[in-house]
Amino acid sequence: MQKLEVFGAKKLKGQINISGSKNASLPILASTLLSNKKIYLKNIPKVNDIETMINLLKSLGSKVKFEKKDLVINNSGQDKKFAAYKLVKTMRAGILVLGPLLAKFGNAKVSLPGGCAIGSRPIDLHLQALSKLGVEYKIYQGYVHAFAPKGLKGSNIHFSKISVGATENLIIAACLAKGITKLSNCAIEPEIKDLTNFLVKLGCNIKWVGKRSIKIIGVNQIKQTTYSVMFDRIEAGTYLIAAAITEGNLIIKKIIPDVIKTEINILKKIGVKILAKKREIKVIGGKKIKNLNIKTAPYPGFPTDLQAQIMVLLCKASKESFIQEDIFENRFMHVAELNRMGAQISIKGNKVLIKGNIKFASAELMATDLRASVSLILAALTAKGKTIINRIYHLDRGYEELEKKLKKVGAKIRRIK
């Protein structure tokens, strides 16, 4: 099993180019199942979750290959409707093939999803909403067996809770449903807007009719298209925090600052100097970090996927800080590892109290999930000596060329077996 070795206490300086968004690419890849024509996707990150989704598409009969930097998908011979556990178990996005398979074939058998152990991932919102489009289903031996005997039919659907995955699945499914579908109380993450932009280019009839409402008119034909996926805002936020915590000076490129306004504003409140331009951000970390209380929330709130990273930075604050986790119920597993490095963080339910003025000490650590993995790297970058991080396969699910990018800006980090 591979490990990371990090030698800390060095300021990061230079520039980092942000990769394409994993969380935008996954639903877009799933939605390509709607088409029987060639699709060219640009800016797809080469991370393990993407590889898993590509393998899932191939298992369903899609032809997928990289041509130079473009991912080319040809579904002209795609005819399978079974998504196996071995391919869906490692990521929750696997359930997103359910919607397009039902729209295209009227039936599907899809494994219940997996991913990081950061909380339960019930798909009841997906299934309840799909049933309103005419889907009948049962869950048996870990699989969703779903049927639409009369095909999908448009309906008015109000999500009882904001859900990124359910919103994505229903948008995709409704594109080929007969008639009009209206979705309300939708998630509005930038990755969902990217999905709808892609589907419109495919020839789907989708219109945002309110802040959290979408109108979709089903279509019969899908076009061939080329599309470039948006930047990864979580990767961008991670490197912003990396500059702040190391008192570094980084230029973060290939981004749109307006998309991460919340993260930028919070970092400014904490005392980080940030200069945003049209397609890049300059970030300068200072010696003084201010304390702050933060709640994670659906977009445009502070993202749960940056909670672990910002926690590391708040360990350096002058006073106590609070973080309240309102998205996942089990997303504080990195706390124990940070405390092993000298942090003083206590958990009470869905809240943590973070003591400030911490100097991290190097240690041997265990990564527990994707974002926890990178939070341990951030802490290690400020700790004198050698820190070893085990179980880094989590990290490889979502960060493209992380070691290469960090080395380029001065970090001393290497992968060992």
* Paired residues of 346 in beta bridges: 353
- Residue 345 to residue 316: CA distance in whole angstroms: 12
Give the pair of three-digit tokens for residue 208.
Answer: 């945002």
Q: What are phi and psi of 259, to 5 degrees?
A: -70, -25
Q: What is the DSSP string of 274-322?
A: EEE-SSEEEEE--S-B---EEEB-STTSB-GGGHHHHHHHHTTBSS-EE
Give Cα 86 to chain centroid, integer Å. Answer: 21
- Residue 94 to residue 255: CA distance in whole angstroms: 27
Angle between helix 233-245 and 261-270 (nearest 10): 10
3-class DSSP state of 79:
coil
Question: CA neighbours within 13 Å on the CB side: how many for 70?
Answer: 12
| Nearest-10 Cα torsion for 146, 151, 154, 157 | -10
For the chain, the helix, strand and coil percentages under 3-state DSSP, each to the nearest 5: 35, 30, 40
* Paired residues of 13 in beta bridges: 249
Give the pair of three-digit tokens for residue 405.
Answer: 């990018």
- Residue 393 to residue 48: CA distance in whole angstroms: 9
Q: Is 116 a catalytic residue?
A: yes
Q: Are 83 and 110 in contact (CB under 8 A)?
A: yes
Residue type, 271: G
Q: What are phi and psi of 224, to 5 degrees?
A: -80, 140
Q: Which residues are tagged catalytic?
A: 116
